[in-house]
Structure 1
Amino acid sequence: MSDSDQPVTQRIIVLVSDSCDSNAALEAAARMAGRLGAELQALFVEDVNLLRSAGLPFAREIGLTSATVRPMSPEAVEQQLRAQAERSRALLERIAQRMNIRSSFRVSRGNVESEALGSARPEDMLIICRADHRRRGGSRLSDREGRIVSAAHCTVMLVGERQPEENRAVLVLYANTARGRRSLALAASMARDAAQPLVLLLPPGSEAEHDRLAASAREWAQTHNLQLRFRELGHVDAAALLSALRQEEGDSLVIPRDAAALRDPHDRLLLDEVDTPVVVVP
């Protein structure tokens, strides 16, 4: 693996919204910024679609705890968004100070998906919190979040509400391709900086193919003073990856965007069934 295969993440961008736990998203982003020595930027998007909807004559909102139905207005929604942005800004400042990382907070107005994709450069990492399914009563991975994962030119990390635990492994689905090597390099950075085990998941193949894959990874790992362990997979669908995560007690999973578990609509449930952070490498 050449040095050009190694990711140099300069900035972590975390998308903050009303659809997830901002504290969980910011904490996860701050930890990643600390691991990779990157700057952290929180992006709060005032959703124009929400503001437009609030201006419709039949628009109503239901109180989360009171179940009271009341009219919506653009002015009230704007006030709520400003208040939420200020809470998120204050939270970011506290977390950044505690973890001693560089941070900034930016507010934009527009389409959430477009603003998120337009803000990220190829060398960035974009962190998205899975929407709170308890509010939506269904799937946690929204269509919008799925489109961001598919369209982003940078690495995307999906986080849930589960807090990480020490000494749990970072798992990476490995192939000896440019994208596979980038995935390995990023996973190695994450594991090394947090002193975690690194587990390479080898896709189905012959014994000779597995030997070649393992040899290419070991050669690279020796030059970077890393210890690896390997796990051979019978399949690379969502069920197999979830099983490996559970059995290896994984802290996070790094996968290339062309992985079968992301191409198959049914296997996309991988991103919905696990609170473990999933990192998708373009």
Structure 2
Amino acid sequence: MSDLVETGRIWVALDALERSEAPLGTAVGLARILQAELAALFVENVDLLRMAAFPQAFETRLFGQHDPAGQQGPERLEAALRAQASALQRQLVRTAGASGLRWSFRIARGRVLQQALEVAGAGDCVVLPSAAIATSLAITRPDPATRRGAATRAGTAPQRGAIASARPAGLSLAGSPQLWALPGVGPRARRVLEIAHRLLDQDGPGRLVLPEAPREAAELRDWLRQRGWQDDWREASLADLQAARQQPGGAGAGILLLPRPADGAERAQLEGSLRRAGWPIVMV
């Protein structure tokens, strides 16, 4: 096991638009298996805050029951975001304590992927939601009331707690989700596969999407054979992965591991994938 895996954190990055428990559950499983600290990042979505400043904005479905007459301004949205962040931190404390994990918590303002890339260290893994990220604010009749802009609040300092316990034997990810790896090429690909291999359980092989270039695909096959891991993976195409993620009722049934973006083009591609229904994404 590499030092990076031993000392890294498992970040789970969420905002108020994420309603599924799958990302946090995935992060807890990773932290237990990799013996890492569980770190939660709550992101105050800047797009929502900007839209809430419009006098025509009203809440549709973000925070509890929908009130058709309820106007949504920056102050009310700020309060709702603080409540969401507090709820996430309480859930983190309970979950980490039950699993004997070290934990930390942080709040930032921006977009999920951007903030996750900023807080994560070189050896960290980041669990991202992949539920649809769509606006939940609508436009209605103009409101004559004047809306004041919300004061920008910087990310808070991490809060730490819970002492780690020894790793129990025979750990696996809850629910035995299908593990998919989209490793890319080079050293980043090998790191993805090293971590992914530790997450494989006894229920069956993982699914591996190799690079399209024959030479790069052959290099990864040779690398797996050298470690005796070739039978632990079943090769699949990118079309297979896309079809599996889009299956009805498939949310939470799989986990996708891939390297963190190396440039702006990869980042834009990953941001696009976060807007499609599917599974939690783990950047390593």
Give the TM-score category using the shorter length: 0.5 to 0.7
Alignment check: 8 A CA contact 1:171 1:198 kept: no
1:124-143 aligned at under 5 Å gives the runs 124-132=124-132
Query: Does residue 1:111 correspond to 2:140, yes or no?
Result: no
Q: Which runs of 5+ in 1 are unaligned?
A: 137-162
Amino acid at match of 1:275: G
Which residue is 2:192 aligned to?
183
1:10/1:203 Cα in 2 relative to 1: closer, same or farther (>3 Å)? closer
SS at match of 1:40: strand
Which residue is 1:45 aligned to?
43
Q: Comparing 18-27 with 61-70, which one deviates more in the overlay?
A: 61-70
The Cα shift of 1:185 comes to 0.6
SS at match of 1:50: helix
Distance between the aligned counterparts of 2:210 and 2:270, measured in 1?
18
The Cα shift of 1:37 comes to 0.8
Distance between the aligned counterparts of 1:202 and 1:78, measured in 2?
44
Alignment check: 8 A CA contact 2:40 2:104 kept: yes
Which residue is 2:26 aligned to?
28
Alignment check: 8 A CA contact 2:185 2:216 kept: no
Q: Which runs of 5+ in 2 are unaligned?
A: 137-172, 247-252
Distance between the aligned counterparts of 2:128 and 2:219, measured in 1?
35
The Cα shift of 1:274 comes to 6.1
Percent sequence identity over aligned pairs: 32
Query: Does residue 1:74 correspond to 2:74, yes or no?
Result: yes
SS at match of 2:189: helix
Alignment check: 8 A CA contact 1:175 1:213 kept: no
After superposition, give the CA deviation of every residue in 1:39-95 in whole Å (9 maximum; x if it has no partner): 011112334443344333333333564451332232222221121111111111111
Distance between the aligned counterparts of 1:70 and 1:111, measured in 2?
25
Alignment check: 8 A CA contact 1:17 1:44 kept: yes
Higher helix share: 1
Q: Comparing 270-279 with 7-16, which one deviates more in the overlay?
A: 270-279
Tell me: higher relative CO, structure 1 or 2? Use CA pairs within 8 A at least 6 residues apart: 2
Alignment check: 8 A CA contact 1:187 1:198 kept: no
After superposition, give the CA deviation of every residue in 1:169-211 in whole Å (9 maximum; x if it has no partner): 53434677322211211111222xx5554444555687x9977
Distance between the aligned counterparts of 1:72 and 1:270, measured in 2?
29
The Cα shift of 1:36 comes to 1.0
The alignment yields a C-alpha RMSD, in angstroms, of: 4.2
Q: TM-score, normalised by structure 1?
A: 0.64
Amino acid at match of 1:180: A
Alignment check: 8 A CA contact 1:164 1:251 kept: no
The Cα shift of 1:5 comes to 10
Q: TM-score, normalised by structure 2?
A: 0.64
Amino acid at match of 1:120: A
